[in-house]
Amino acid sequence: VIEEEEKLCQETKELILSLPREKGWRTSYLYLFQGFWCQLKEIEAIHSFQKHFQAKDSDVLVATVPKSGTTWLKALTFAIVNRQHCSSFNKNHPLLTSNPHDLVPFFEYTVYGRHDKVPNLSNMCEPRIFGTHIPFASLPDSIKESNCKIIYICRNPFDTFVSSWFFVNKIKPKSLPTLALEEAFEMYCKGIVGFGPFWTHMLGYWKESIDRPNKVLFLKYENLKEDLNSHLKRVAEFLNCPFTLKEESDGVIENIIKVCSFETMKELEINKSGTFGRNFENRFLFRKGEIGDWVNYLSPSMVEKLSKVIEEKLGGSGLSF
Ligand code: A3P
């Protein structure tokens, strides 16, 4: 932590001293910043993002709960938005040679991740597509007030938890011991997980999607798995670029589904051998991609406990899993 802290600017150092903190999943601590839990290095990036980012009406944001299908939704959104340039998926499609996180950069890691430098975003192709795990309440006003669009995805908390637990143990520094399932589970149920509590995260975007359905499109991983075709049509309509009948009969939607499928993406060289910066290997982003894998890991008492948390926190909101 001392090493991490030394790299921070004075303003952030003073701020973090005032924040509640808990043991992290793969870092010494998670800090409660603006009502959500995050890592030290994320705080500075988020701060810079909030201070500097100027949204354009044409921007598209892919906002997600970590381990809920971020990689998939980024790929799908990129493919939909850029389909004029690459209607038939040949070898040159960017998604076949780049990981979706490189095509749709995260505000809090890639875009504002370097605290010595405010990025120049003016030369990005429009529409610009960004990704974020930041809760709705903490997005800068320019995003909330502009006409830019937000596509949100979350996933049933049981699978999200199991996916997070596997991922963290794969990417944690080797010097740290394996994080036990039971310990992670207790933290998850208390809401102590990156960008959590998960219920606050979901409810923030859920409420906004009800109040402003043209601003926020709320999706669930399970629904996409069950009927991707109709969800891609919804996404395209939401982004004001609906598929034409000709595109539909030409198989454009099917092509998008195929190039973004778990099976295709997992086998791409970039996703087998590439890395996300110096943070982790891309292959860790593709585990099983199934609904309901949690049954293989959670005990009956864990299921009961998390079900109660979900009922208590989401009950009455209209959001269920
Ligand atoms: P599992 O760990 O359950 O397999 P994120 O992209 O937000 O980090 O989410 C990761 C989860 O999405 C992982 O779930 C991963 O396997 C799954 N996933 C990755 N790519 C996918 C794709 N193209 N289609 C469906 N699921 C995908």
At residue 264 the predicted structure's pLDDT band, cuts being 50, 70 and 90, is: very high
Q: Which of 168, 266, 285 gets mutated to test ligand 1 (max ligand atoms within 8 A of its CB)?
A: 285
Q: What is the DSSP letter of 68?
A: S
Q: What is the pLDDT of residues 269-298, one digit of tens each?
A: 999 999 998 889 999 999 999 999 999 999
Cβ atoms of 224 and 72 closer than 8 Å: yes
Quote the CA–CA distance of 124 and 19 in Å, as a whole number: 35
Q: What is the DSSP string of 14-36?
A: HHHHTS-EEE-SSSSEEEEETTE
Q: Which residues pair with 131 in a beta bridge?
A: 62, 106
The vertex-208 CA angle with 218 and 48, nearest 5°, equals 95
Compute the distance from residue 51 Cα to the ligand 1 centre, in Å: 31
Question: What global pTM score does this model have?
Answer: 0.96
Q: What is the pLDDT of residues 86-133, one digit of tens each?
A: 556 567 889 999 999 999 999 999 999 976 678 889 889 899 999 999
Among the listed residues 107, 82, 110, the one whose alpha carbon sits nearest the alpha carbon of residue 96: 82
* Residue 57 predicted with pLDDT over 60: yes
Compute the radius of gyration of the chain from its Cα atoms: 19
Identify the pLDDT of residue 87.
Answer: 57
At residue 135 the predicted structure's pLDDT band, cuts being 50, 70 and 90, is: very high
More confident residue, 319 or 17: 319
Q: Which residues line ligand 1 (CB under 6 A)?
A: 64, 66-72, 159, 163, 166, 260-262, 265, 285-289, 293
**ipTM of this predicted structure:** 1.00
Is residue 10 classed as helix, strand or coil in its secondary structure? helix
Contacts of 174 (CB under 8 A, 6+ apart): none
Identify the pLDDT of residue 60.
Answer: 98
Q: Which residues pair with 150 in a beta bridge?
A: 61, 216
Q: Mean pLDDT of all residues in the chain?
A: 94
Compute the distance from residue 116 Cα to the ligand 1 centre, in Å: 32
Compute the distance from residue 163 Cα to the ligand 1 centre, in Å: 8
Quote the CA–CA distance of 237 and 30 in Å, as a whole number: 38
Q: Which residues belong to the active site? A: 133
What is the distance between the terminal CA atoms of the chain, rounded to a whole angstrom?
37
Contacts of 217 (CB under 8 A, 6+ apart): 149, 150, 151, 152, 209, 234, 235, 238
Q: Which of 38-52, 58-72, 128-142, 194-208 has the lowest mean pLDDT?
A: 38-52
Cβ atoms of 231 and 224 closer than 8 Å: yes
Among the listed residues 231, 218, 258, 270, the one whose alpha carbon sits nearest the alpha carbon of residue 102: 270
At residue 258 the predicted structure's pLDDT band, cuts being 50, 70 and 90, is: very high
